[in-house]
Structures are given as structure tokens and as C-alpha cells.
Chain A
């Protein structure tokens, strides 16, 4: 527990010293949100008093989560491993679970911070309506963050190098962003796109935040699905790290 607290605190300090590392996760969703809301910001009848910005803000909260989980964390973890930082920690008995815990804590906090920055910036430029259900939005955002950060830890564990982690992350991130409803609305998608959209986990995060925000329905099914994703990612990480007693996440890959 002491180790976990210490590692978490160090990660926080490292982040504070080099905030540029997460500029993509913070700036990309914000810039795209402001542009889209500028173009499609007109009030729409079927949104029940909400405007285009109210539709996009929850979606881009999900995009913040996705960029941290799919790109930020996997690259960070793979680079710590590649450089031998995790190997050094392991030699002093730091368990994979402590590294996992510290990364979960810091990255979920970072997602919350990124979400807050997005909300404040969007509110300064546009008239954003308050969510219908604050608790529902918080639940959706929380479960979405946990599941994507756990997924990010798994990707960082599996990616052989930091460069590979970045490539894998981008390949996953862009289709998810475009097809999850954060890009073109699902209403204008072709049938194939919509089917693809349905199986992408980011689509669930978008609805988990959007439904309670706009008051269009419950996010219960999304919360269940995302919890399952969280459990699966944690279980797979645990399995991958126990398969090799030394811990796959912690040791640099040895070239044959």
C-alpha cells in the first residue's frame, strides 16, 4: 500500500513536471469539439431543448478518455518498460499490481482533469446546458475511464515497444473516434458503419455519458458492458503478467 501511494505520488509529480506529455489527450478533443460545435451548433428540435454543443460535449469527454487510455498510457507504460525503469523497480520487489494501481489512479485522475478542462473551455465559448442527471454522467464517465485505462494498461503490456504502442494506439483511436458518435452522428452513418460502431467500446462510453446528460435514457446497459470490459482487461493483464513469472509488463522484450 505504501509502495502504491509512493509510486502514485511520483507519477503525479512527473506529470506535473512535464504536462506537455498529455497535450494530445487534452488539446485534441477540445479543438475538435470547438470546431464541430461551431459548425453544427444550431439547436435541433429532437434534442429537447439541448443544442449541438450539448450533444458533442459528452462525446468529447469520452474522446478524452479514449486518447488517455488508447495512446497516452500504453506509450508511457511501454516506454517505462523499454527503458528499463520497470525492470529496476521489479528488482526491488515492486509488484505489477502496484504499477497497475498507480497507473490506474493517475490516469483516471488525468481523465477527470482533462474532462474538467474540456467542460470549462466549452462553457466559456458556448452555452452548455447542465446534464439532466449529474450522477448518471459521473457514473458513465467513471466507469468509462476505468475500463479504458485498464484497456490501456493491457495494450501497454502487450506492445513490444513504445513505438509499437503508439502505432497500435493510433490505429485503435481514430476509427473509434470517428465511428463512436463523436465524429459524424450515428443517424447519418451507413448500415455497415453503424454495425461497426455498435461493437466499438468507445461507442458505449459516448452513450454512457451522453444519455444521462441529454436525459434520453438510462446508461445501465453501457455501465454493465464497460464494467465487463474493465474486468476482462484486468484479467487479461493479470494472466499475461503471471504467464511469465517475471511479469510481461515489467521486463523489456529480449530480442532472440
Chain B
């Protein structure tokens, strides 16, 4: 599958503050691509450069083969944007917003259909200020889709939503992808990235520190799998010789074995073969959060806040 987005050595600063130092990645046709990073890591600035909202200071960016800085109008007809911290005038009604953005799109889908699809029909005449957080996000997603885009940018779509509304939003993202659009998802939520993204670029301090599938990132950077159980007096020194086991240690009355890859199946099989069937066998798989904490800078200012 071809790349719909190519970013090479993107650089952007505001005055003396460097927001994006050196960002490169490719997004393939039809995938959900995540930009994962802390607040202030440079994610939003990066997508703003891709959308042609900000002028990059350096590097090369192509979206659908177009240069966002020079072919902005052509590009905007083919992309959809849900922006972080965007708003509409308080007194603007839902149908008026859809009607306005549909008229800007010229062509595209019928906004009435979108309004029904995204569960906004009942709020047709409600003003923007009267919508809940979830309803606003649904409206912004509908506005992003009104021109039937090939690439959709979603920037912190679920920020400020309660857990139930977040799950609904995840469903919406999957629905966008099923329409055939490529999705660029900016988020700082690990679970969201892990659930939704085909591939993720981890951004830190204005740089991409790793790009891979969620599973790929976890196996490369997540650290070992930990298996624990109570040996009940059995000698477990044999565990050290099981393939893929890297370390075995005792923690109180429990044994902890660390390893990688298929280590869980191998250890379990060996235990059973030796007549050990602990009923409290537990496994701790590394998560994307472990990857993230490992890859991103611990020396950043937020550390002082925690102190």
C-alpha cells in the first residue's frame, strides 16, 4: 500500500521555542496512524503543518502528494480536520454549523445524512453552547467528514470526555476508517492508541523516538514479561534453564520469572511437566505505557511538578 502522508525532517519553532525539532514518518493508505506523546511534545504543531495551518521552518511534507504550504486549497478539499480546542460561536445551531461547513466543502456528502449518522438529529436546533462534551465532539467529527475526505486528522478527540463517551468516540473512529479514509490520530492516551492504531509514532521533545505497531513497540521496548506464582516448597531452580527465561528471583513467598516472546507457554509447560500446578500463576505483560515511559524523556519539566 502506498503512503498518503510523508514527513521528512519537519522542523517548526515559535520564536525561540522549538516545538518540532526533527519529525519524520510515513502514513499508509487506509490505516489508523497514531501520534503519541506528552502534552507539548510537538504533536499538534506537527499535524497543523500537515493541514497547512502553520508554515514549517524546515523539512519536507507531502499529504496525498500535495505540499500543504503551496497547494493548501487543493489539499483542504481532500482532508478533514477535527482540531484540538476548536469551538464554534455559542449561539450557532447544530444544523447551521453543518450547513456552513458543507457549503465550504462544495460537493461532498449531504450534511443531513451525517447529522443522522452521528446521532445529532435530535440536537438539530440546539446551540453549540448547549451541547455536552460528547455531542460537541460528534459535531466536530461530522464537520470533519462533511467534504468526504480521504485523510482525517483527529487531534485529542477524546480529551475531556467521560469513559463512556470515550468508548463511543472510539467506535466513531473505527467507523471513519470503515468509510475507507486514512486516519491520523493525535493522542496522549495509551489505551486509545493501543486499541485503535495500526501503527504509532512516539513523539518526545519534538522528535519521533520510535515508530511501529503497538505490539511491535511493546515487544521491542516494553521490557520483559513477568510470571509469578507460589512454589509451595518446590525447588524451582530448573526455571533458569527454560528457554527465553532471562532471570528468576524470589519475592517474599512468590517466585518471579522474567523473559521474552513465548516465555509464558514455555514456563507453564515446564511447571506442569514437573508436577507444579500453582493456582495463582500470574503474568504481567508490558503495556504501551511501559514503552512510553521508557522512550520518553524523564528529565522534562513535569518531573518537578511531581516533586
Does B73 touch A at the CB level, under 8 Å?
yes
The stretch among A78-86, A124-132, A181-189 that forms the contact with chain B is A78-86
Q: In the assembled complex, which residues on chain B have CB atoms less than 8 Å from the CB atom of A163?
A: none
Closest Cβ of chain A to B16, distance in Å, is 7
**Which interface residue of B52, B73, B147 has the most chain A CB atoms within 10 A?**
B52
Q: Which of A3, A18, A92, A254 contacts B14 (CB 8 A)?
A: A254
Does A32 touch B at the CB level, under 8 Å?
no
Q: Cβ of A6 and Cβ of B81 under 8 Å apart? A: no
Q: Give residues 89-111 of B contacting A (CB, 8 Å).
A: 89-92, 96, 100-101, 103-105
Given contacts A85-B89, A92-B105, A94-B104, contact A245 B55 (CB under 8 A): yes
Q: Cβ of A91 and Cβ of B76 under 8 Å apart? A: yes
State which size class the interface on A falls in.
20 to 34
Q: Cβ of B103 and Cβ of A3 under 8 Å apart? A: yes
The stretch among A9-17, A35-43, A145-153, A199-207 that forms the contact with chain B is A9-17
Q: Give residues 220-256 of A contacting B (CB, 8 Å).
A: 244-246, 251-252, 254, 256
Q: Cβ of B55 and Cβ of A92 under 8 Å apart? A: no
Q: Cβ of A246 and Cβ of B86 under 8 Å apart? A: no
Does B83 touch A at the CB level, under 8 Å?
yes
Q: In the assembled complex, which residues on chain B have CB atoms less than 8 Å from the CB atom of A246?
A: 52-55
Q: In the assembled complex, which residues on chain A have CB atoms less than 8 Å from the CB atom of B19?
A: 254
State in angstroms the CA–CA spacing of A88 and B103 once bound together.
14
Does B85 touch A at the CB level, under 8 Å?
yes
State in angstroms the CA–CA spacing of A246 and B14 once bound together.
13
Q: In the assembled complex, which residues on chain A have CB atoms less than 8 Å from the CB atom of B100?
A: 6-7, 10
Q: Which of A2, A10, A87 contacts B83 (CB 8 A)?
A: A87
Does B88 touch A at the CB level, under 8 Å?
yes
Given contacts A6-B100, A91-B81, contact A245 B69 (CB under 8 A): yes
State in angstroms the CA–CA spacing of A80 and B54 once bound together.
18
Q: Cβ of A88 and Cβ of B104 under 8 Å apart? A: no
Q: Cβ of A93 and Cβ of B76 under 8 Å apart? A: yes
Q: Cβ of A84 and Cβ of B53 under 8 Å apart? A: no
State in angstroms the CA–CA spacing of A60 and B83 once bound together.
43
Q: Cβ of A92 and Cβ of B89 under 8 Å apart? A: no
State in angstroms the CA–CA spacing of A252 and B85 once bound together.
10
Given contacts A91-B51, A245-B69, contact A83 B96 (CB under 8 A): no
**Which interface residue of A7, A87, A92 has the most chain B CB atoms within 10 A?**
A92
Does A194 touch B at the CB level, under 8 Å?
no
Q: Give residues 107-148 of B contacting A (CB, 8 Å).
A: 127, 140, 143, 147
Q: In the assembled complex, which residues on chain A have CB atoms less than 8 Å from the CB atom of B90?
A: 18
Q: Cβ of B73 and Cβ of A93 under 8 Å apart? A: yes
State in angstroms the CA–CA spacing of A230 and B19 once bound together.
37
State in angstroms the CA–CA spacing of A3 and B104 once bound together.
7
Q: Which of A2, A83, A256 contacts B103 (CB 8 A)?
A: A2
Q: In the assembled complex, which residues on chain A have CB atoms less than 8 Å from the CB atom of B91?
A: 13-14, 17-18
Q: In the assembled complex, which residues on chain A have CB atoms less than 8 Å from the CB atom of B72?
A: 93
Interface string of A84-119 (1 = CB under 8 A from B): 110111111110000000000000000000000000
Q: Which of B52, B73, B77, B83 contacts A88 (CB 8 A)?
A: B83
Interface string of A170-201 (1 = CB under 8 A from B): 00000000000000000000000000000000
Closest Cβ of chain A to B27, distance in Å, is 18
Nearest A-chain residue to B55, judged by Cβ: A245
Q: In the assembled complex, which residues on chain A have CB atoms less than 8 Å from the CB atom of B45?
A: 254
Given contacts A6-B100, A14-B92, contact A91 B53 (CB under 8 A): yes
Does B306 touch A at the CB level, under 8 Å?
no
Given contacts A14-B89, A92-B105, contact A87 B14 (CB under 8 A): no
Q: In the assembled complex, which residues on chain A have CB atoms less than 8 Å from the CB atom of B86?
A: 84-85, 87-88, 91
Q: In the assembled complex, which residues on chain B have CB atoms less than 8 Å from the CB atom of A94?
A: 104
Nearest A-chain residue to B51, judged by Cβ: A91
Q: In the assembled complex, which residues on chain A have CB atoms less than 8 Å from the CB atom of B275?
A: none
Interface string of A1-32 (1 = CB under 8 A from B): 01100110010011001100000000000000
Given contacts A14-B91, A91-B76, A246-B54, contact A256 B15 (CB under 8 A): yes
State in angstroms the CA–CA spacing of A39 and B143 once bound together.
56
Does B87 touch A at the CB level, under 8 Å?
yes
5 contacts between A and B (CB under 8 A): A2-B103, A85-B88, A94-B104, A246-B55, A254-B14
Q: Which residues of A contact B (CB under 8 A)?
A: 2-3, 6-7, 10, 13-14, 17-18, 80, 83-85, 87-94, 244-246, 251-252, 254, 256
Q: Which residues of B contact A (CB under 8 A)?
A: 14-17, 19, 45, 51-55, 69, 72-73, 76-77, 81, 83, 85-92, 96, 100-101, 103-105, 127, 140, 143, 147
Nearest 6 A/B pairs, CB to CB: A256-B17, A84-B86, A83-B87, A88-B86, A91-B81, A17-B91
